[in-house]
Amino acid sequence: MTTTEQRRPMIEADGLSKFYGPFAAAREVNFSVLQGELVAFLGPNGAGKSTTMKMLTGYIAPSEGEARIAGHNMMDDRIEGSRHLGYLPESGPLYMEMTPSGMLDFFAEARGLVGAKKRDRVEAVVEICDLSSVMYKPISKLSKGFKQRVGMSQALLHDPDVLILDEPTAGLDPNQIRGVRKTMRKLAETKTILLSTHILQEVEAMANRVVMINEGRLVYDGDVQGLREHGNDDLDQAFHQLTQFDA
Ligand SMILES: Nc1ncnc2c1ncn2[C@@H]1O[C@H](COP(=O)(O)OP(=O)(O)OP(=O)(O)O)[C@@H](O)[C@H]1O
């Protein structure tokens, strides 16, 4: 295992801001995720998590600042950066009328995977995401948990070393959450992961580092224990302390 000093930053938010007219959805957000880290991106609803993630993935352009994945600027060098990146957006991209089999086929070809390589990668993600029982059902008919896993399989198809996952457990029941967490822990053995959540238990269960935003601003970057100390050893209290003020 390499030391923290030797690990390279794989996800970098460098002064990221996003303005919608006079409203700032994100303001000068700075943080980086080092190779092999699993970091929780925490904040209340509307804090700017999805907006920041969309800038990090190159899905939207920052008003100010730079987003880099594996060192690639996601505005100037998005194609190279995207080779390293799997992104699970908050909703989709799922094609409801397709089956998981058809959708994976479609995305594999879109990513230039063909022949044996395509077959191997599809087989791998079906196994990781445990999709074999639903491969030929329309996605629209699947449970929310399975829909989430289908979304995850798409993000993993090109075997990226960086994952940005926007609320991967939102709206799932406890059994489904357990399944997604198990998959994520397995993935964390080999990948760099940033996952957003507004659920505190998620942070404790999954990550040892937390980046927290409120009203578009970074309010905490550190370990879970340090966050707890903000609230007299109580995570709920710490969350409240760090998010109650109006910036
Ligand atoms: N296209 C847009 N135009 C105007 N305002 C926007 C746009 N996208 C997001 N916002 C606003 O920016 C703020 C941050 O939104 P964002 O979706 O990033 O929050 P979030 O932390 O991901 O919240 P949630 O957990 O509810 O998804 C919200 O007030 C939202 O209404």
Cβ-count burial of 115 within 10 angstroms (0-12 exposed, 13-18 middle, 19+ buried)?
A: exposed
List the structure tokens of 146.
């399975």
Domains of the chain, residue spans: 9-98+161-243
For a mutational test of ligand 1's pocket, the pick from 18, 50, 169, 214, i.e. the residue with the most ligand atoms closer than 8 A to its C-beta, is: 50
pLDDT tens for 168-219 read 888 788 888 888 888 888 899 999 999 998 888 888 888 889 999 999 999 9
- First CA to last CA across the chain, in angstroms? 40
- CATH-assigned architecture of domain 9-98+161-243: 3-Layer(aba) Sandwich (3.40)
Please say whether the beta carbons of 135 and 126 come within 8 A. Answer: yes
Asked if pLDDT for residue 247 goes beyond 70, the answer is no
- Rounded to two decimals, the pTM is 0.92
Alpha helices (runs of H) in the chain, residue ranges in sequence order: 49-56, 78-84, 100-110, 115-128, 144-156, 174-188, 200-206, 224-229, 235-243
Answer yes or no: is the ipTM higher than 0.90. yes
For a mutational test of ligand 1's pocket, the pick from 16, 17, 20, i.e. the residue with the most ligand atoms closer than 8 A to its C-beta, is: 20
Residues 6+ apart with CB under 8 A from 114: 108
pLDDT tens for 140-179 read 999 888 888 899 999 999 999 999 999 988 878 888 888 8
Q: How far apart are CA 190 and CA 178, in angstroms?
A: 20
Ligand 1 pocket check for 213: Cβ under 6 Å: no
Q: How far apart are CA 23 and CA 132, in angstroms?
A: 45
Ligand 1 pocket check for 177: Cβ under 6 Å: no
> Measuring CA to CA, how many Å separate 118 from each of 153, 192, 215?
13, 23, 42
Q: Name the more confident of 205 and 37.
A: 37
